[in-house]
Structure 1
Amino acid sequence: MEQLLPIIIGAIALIVGIVLGKILFAKNTKKQVETAEQQAQKIISDAQIQAETIKKEKQLEAKERFVQLKSEHDKEVFQRNQKISDAENRIKQKEQAINQKDQNVERIIKENEAIKETLNRQIEVVNIKRTELEKHQEEHIRRLEKVAELSAEDAKAQLIDTLRQEANSQALIIQQEIVDDARLRANKEARKIIIQTIQRTAAEQAIENAITVFNLESDEIKGSIIGREGRNIRAIEAATGVDLIVDDTPEAIILSSFDPLRREIARLSLQRLVADGRIHPARIEEVVEKTRKQLEEQIIEIGERTVIELGIHGLHKELVRIVGKMRFRSSYGQNLLMHSREVANLCGVMAAELGMNVKLAKRAGLLHDIGKVPDDETELSHALLGMKLAEKYGENPAVCNAIGAHHDEVEMQYVISPVVQACDSMSGARPGARREIMQQYLQRIKDLENLALAYQGVEKAYAIQAGRELRVIVEADKVSDGESDKLSFEIAQKIQTEMTYPGQIKVTVIREKRAVNVAR
């Protein structure tokens, strides 16, 4: 019990302390509440005072804004009234002007009516006089017809026919004189330039065939070339695209192909195979491939040598390759590279004679037929294809136009274009330059004679001198001497416009009158 007493006393003391602490905390809390209420009252009073102040300020601002809007509205109303008054004044002025114009119009109408009446009276007088004049004219015409025993319409028709015939005859004579004079001068000058050009150019007459003969040392080599069951010859034909003809011809094999490049590859390959002695399909393919690469290098070398010899610089590498490839192409039996070199030289000489750019003329002459050796098949003509190739590789516009226009497929835009066309015709038309198929030649001769026979009064027509002259025999009773000149001129013009031919054609019209009697 004595041990619990201190614990009890401590507990009581603790409880008393807690009670006293709560009493002190309650007193402090009451004081804080009172203080907070006082502060709240003060804040509310301050807020009310501030709200009153703001209210008075806003009321003053609203009054000022109202006064300002009212003044602006009054000003706008004044301006509108001013515009309305100005518009009314303008309308009044326009009304006055319109009234003035109406008065003027009425006055002019009255004056015009007076003038119209005067004119009507004058027209009546003129009509009366015209009627009298027509009567006198008819009477005069009847007297003239009676004297001449010919009506006015018949006389007019005869006069018109006479004048037309005289005018046609005089026009034909003058036209013929002008054409003859111009042709004489032009032919004289052109002949001079062409003769000088041809004399300065030495051309080769190269005739290409469709076959190449490969000579052998002995006929024993033919068996090696043919191979077992013909396998070697089949391998050569498959690799080169050339037909090999092995017949009874001693010490020779014929290579047949329309492509000279393929024939050359086959010839060089056979030459290597025969020299090596090892002939079998694998070796054939290897040799043909090597020969093809070597020939490609040779083509580029030929092109470079050609442009150097002609003095042409700055040509694109692909165009140089195409020029070299011309060596293995032909046109109408004429070697294409020889033809192009000849045209280039002719163009250079003719350009020098005419005072033109010689280097540009040579360039156009050399490239004018590059469209004949395309790498890919195309439907374009060789002139248009060549022009596109030249444009693609950055050639001069004059050169491109000359290439495209040398067969009149595009319009000539530069002076150099007709020079290239003329030189191309000169190179192709000289004797021995080209082969002509017999059927085409006969058809051209027949067309030339039929063209002349289609004219009225023509009895016979003969194309002589390989088609370079046309002799026309006319009936003397149907064609006069003057009409013979006209007929010759018309036939020549029609041949020039409708037919394609190399060089020129002379037209000779023959008219003769024969009187035949028999003495018995």
Structure 2
Amino acid sequence: MSFLSILLILVGAAIGAAAGYVLHKAIESRRLRDAKDLAERILDEARKEAQASKKESLLQAQDEIYNQKKELEGEYKERERQLKSKEGKLADKEVKLAEKEERLESKLEKLAQKEISVIDFEKKLTKQERLLADRDEVIVQREEEQARKLEEISGLTQEEARSRIMQDIEDKTRHEAAKMVRTIEMEAREMADKKAKEILALSIQRYAGDYVAEQTVTAVSLPSEDMKGRIIGREGRNIRALEAATGVDLIIDDTPETVILSAYSPLRREIAKQALERLITDGRIHPARIEDIVKKVEQEMEVKLREIGEQATFDVAVHGIHPDIIRLLGQLHYRTSFSQNVLQHSLEVASLCGIMAAELGLDEKKAKRAGLLHDIGKAVDHEVEGPHAIIGADLAKKYAESKEIIHAIAAHHEDVPPKSILAVLVQAADSLSGARPGARKELLENYVKRLEDLENVAKDVEGVSKAFAIQAGREIRVMVDADKVTDDNTYLLCKDIAHKIEENLTYPGQIKVTVIREKRAVEYAK
């Protein structure tokens, strides 16, 4: 291709490019004009819409302003009305305050008048007080003059006269008090004594115990005299084994066909008696056999103790007692106190307590229970130290008896002060059972010593000349010196003697104290 054709092609291409550019420009210009026209139309429409919205907003704002204006006007009117109302109330209050001020002013005027009258009254009182003080001085002076004159006339000082007057008043008062106390106590004593005698007489009448003192020895009969040698055994081994196994002394003397068992404990004597009788019946007497027989008898005795205890509870209709307490009651059957069987004594006390409780309107079952168990401590007092009443109370507490029963057991010998009627009932029944004739055995020496101690306690009281214990020590009659003791003082002296006996002596039941005063005038005709 030639240069010319290339050039023509280049020129044609340039012309075409220029024409395309011009055409493109024209199209772009046209599009630009159209876009501007569209933008102007949109702006016109937006302006119109903005103006419409503005008008609408203005209208709404005007409505809101109008409404707010109306609300504010209403609030203003309401506040104005409230202010006017408050102003009216304030005016009323001012009127009332003014009235109160007037009333206060009138009261102040009245108070001022009263103050003036009080001042006048105080002046009058002051004047009267001065007059009274002057009179008091005059009276004191006159009293002093009279006292001096009386001292001169009587020869006594004021202190001496006062002491004499006080002594006279004291003597008269003691005299009147003694009379009054004697009258009241005599009336009360007569009524109480009558009622107590009725109850005790009824109790004794309804319970007639025939049990008397027991001994501390038991006799065992033998089939022949030859049996004594077999009991003793070779070199005394059988008798030693029997005494060691039972804790009982065997007395084999010249008494024909009899062996004596001696021991303080009736339970041990009973075991030894049964064991010895079985050995005699069996014929085989040697140490090993003796031990076997004694063990069997002891086992059987345990069963028998429970049976005896159960029978005792059945006899007095007392139920619900712990089995260990029932066994201890069985042991009391083989225990004595002053040679009196303790179980029989406990049954007596239970019956007497029940009778007296029924007469007084108290719980009869509880009274019987306390009476039956009151000496339960004697079943173990050889094993435990202390008074049997406290030991028995501890046992009752251990086996869940009631507090009233425990207290009655502890207090029946005054180891603790009695604080209930039940405790006093048990004391009375215990004394009644132990003091009845034939119930207990007492050594002559102890009996005489007890009477001497009773008389000596009474003789130690000032004014007593003689004292005599009578009625086996259950009454003491005291003779007083008539020159030292007046009729009224005999009553006080009687109470003092009774109080000293209670403090210094131990005795069953009660002791009657009788004080006798007599004045004898003796003259001889010559």
Q: TM-score, normalised by structure 1?
A: 0.72
Are residue 265 (structure 1) and residue 266 (structure 2) matched?
A: no
Are residue 169 (structure 1) and residue 190 (structure 2) matched?
A: no
- Letter paired with 1:431: P
Distance in 2 (alpha carbons) for counterparts of 1:519 and 1:355:
66
Are residue 439 (structure 1) and residue 426 (structure 2) matched?
A: no
Distance in 1 (alpha carbons) for counterparts of 2:353 and 2:518:
45
Partner of 1:349: 355
Tell me which moved more, 318-327 or 400-409.
400-409
What's the C-alpha RMSD, in Å, of the aligned pairs? 2.6
- The partner residue of 1:200 within 203, 206, 218 is 206
Partner of 1:216: 222
Please say if residues 428 and 509 of structure 2, whose CA atoms lie closer than 8 Å, have aligned partners that are also in contact.
no
1:407 CA drift (Å):
1.7
Q: Kindly tell me: are residues 358 and 244 of structure 1, through their superposed partners in 2, closer, same or farther at Cα, counting changes over 3 Å?
A: same
1:413 CA drift (Å):
4.3
Per-residue displacement from partner, 1:268-305 (whole Å, max 9, x unpaired)?
00100111111111111111111111111111111111
Partner of 1:310: 316
Partner of 2:396: 390
Per-residue displacement from partner, 1:152-201 (whole Å, max 9, x unpaired)?
43433332222111111110011111111111111111111111111111
Partner of 2:239: 233
1:5-404 maps to which residues of 2 (within 5 A)? 131-146=137-152, 151-374=157-380, 377-404=383-410
Partner of 2:433: 427
Partner of 1:486: 492
Per-residue displacement from partner, 1:226-246 (whole Å, max 9, x unpaired)?
111111111111111111111
Please say if residues 343 and 365 of structure 1, whose CA atoms lie closer than 8 Å, have aligned partners that are also in contact.
yes
Distance in 2 (alpha carbons) for counterparts of 1:464 and 1:124:
77
Distance in 2 (alpha carbons) for counterparts of 1:375 and 1:171:
48
Partner of 1:462: 468
Per-residue displacement from partner, 1:354-384 (whole Å, max 9, x unpaired)?
1111111111111111111128722232111
Partner of 2:21: none
Distance in 2 (alpha carbons) for counterparts of 1:218 and 1:166:
85
Tell me which moved more, 458-467 or 167-176.
458-467
1:126 CA drift (Å):
8.2
- Letter paired with 2:353: C
1:414 CA drift (Å):
3.7
Partner of 2:501: 495
Distance in 2 (alpha carbons) for counterparts of 1:494 and 1:381:
23
Q: Percent identity?
A: 50
Partner of 1:98: none
Please say if residues 242 and 266 of structure 1, whose CA atoms lie closer than 8 Å, have aligned partners that are also in contact.
yes
How many pairs are equivalent? Answer: 404
- The partner residue of 1:417 within 415, 423, 429 is 423
Please say if residues 494 and 514 of structure 2, whose CA atoms lie closer than 8 Å, have aligned partners that are also in contact.
yes
Q: Kindly tell me: are residues 176 and 493 of structure 1, through their superposed partners in 2, closer, same or farther at Cα, counting changes over 3 Å?
A: farther
1:475 CA drift (Å):
2.7
Tell me which moved more, 142-151 or 351-360.
142-151
Please say if residues 178 and 489 of structure 2, whose CA atoms lie closer than 8 Å, have aligned partners that are also in contact.
no
1:327 CA drift (Å):
0.5
Q: Kindly tell me: are residues 313 and 477 of structure 1, through their superposed partners in 2, closer, same or farther at Cα, counting changes over 3 Å?
A: closer
Partner of 1:13: none
Q: Kindly tell me: are residues 157 and 349 of structure 1, through their superposed partners in 2, closer, same or farther at Cα, counting changes over 3 Å?
A: same
Per-residue displacement from partner, 1:111-133 (whole Å, max 9, x unpaired)?
xxxxxxx9999999987765554
1:150 CA drift (Å):
5.0
Distance in 1 (alpha carbons) for counterparts of 2:378 and 2:186:
39
Partner of 1:23: none
Q: TM-score, normalised by structure 2?
A: 0.72
SS of residue matched to 2:478: strand
1:393 CA drift (Å):
1.2
Q: Kindly tell me: are residues 159 and 452 of structure 1, through their superposed partners in 2, closer, same or farther at Cα, counting changes over 3 Å?
A: same
Q: Kindly tell me: are residues 483 and 395 of structure 1, through their superposed partners in 2, closer, same or farther at Cα, counting changes over 3 Å?
A: closer
Per-residue displacement from partner, 1:313-363 (whole Å, max 9, x unpaired)?
111110110111110001111101000000111111111111111111111
Partner of 1:41: none
Distance in 2 (alpha carbons) for counterparts of 1:336 and 1:366:
10
- Letter paired with 2:475: E
Distance in 2 (alpha carbons) for counterparts of 1:258 and 1:322:
18
Distance in 1 (alpha carbons) for counterparts of 2:263 and 2:216:
6
Q: Kindly tell me: are residues 227 and 147 of structure 1, through their superposed partners in 2, closer, same or farther at Cα, counting changes over 3 Å?
A: closer
Distance in 2 (alpha carbons) for counterparts of 1:387 and 1:501:
22
1:487 CA drift (Å):
2.5
Please say if residues 377 and 392 of structure 2, whose CA atoms lie closer than 8 Å, have aligned partners that are also in contact.
yes
Q: Kindly tell me: are residues 499 and 270 of structure 1, through their superposed partners in 2, closer, same or farther at Cα, counting changes over 3 Å?
A: same
1:486 CA drift (Å):
3.4
- Letter paired with 1:398: E
- Letter paired with 1:265: I
Q: Kindly tell me: are residues 297 and 129 of structure 1, through their superposed partners in 2, closer, same or farther at Cα, counting changes over 3 Å?
A: same
Per-residue displacement from partner, 1:386-431 (whole Å, max 9, x unpaired)?
1111111121222112111212223434432211111111111111
Please say if residues 219 and 251 of structure 1, whose CA atoms lie closer than 8 Å, have aligned partners that are also in contact.
yes
- Letter paired with 1:344: A
Please say if residues 204 and 338 of structure 1, whose CA atoms lie closer than 8 Å, have aligned partners that are also in contact.
no
Per-residue displacement from partner, 1:187-223 (whole Å, max 9, x unpaired)?
1111111111111112132312221111112211111
Please say if residues 381 and 387 of structure 2, whose CA atoms lie closer than 8 Å, have aligned partners that are also in contact.
no
Q: Kindly tell me: are residues 147 and 375 of structure 1, through their superposed partners in 2, closer, same or farther at Cα, counting changes over 3 Å?
A: closer
1:432 CA drift (Å):
1.4
SS of residue matched to 1:356: coil
SS of residue matched to 1:328: coil
Please say if residues 221 and 259 of structure 2, whose CA atoms lie closer than 8 Å, have aligned partners that are also in contact.
yes
Structure 2: where are the runs of 5+ without partners? 1-122
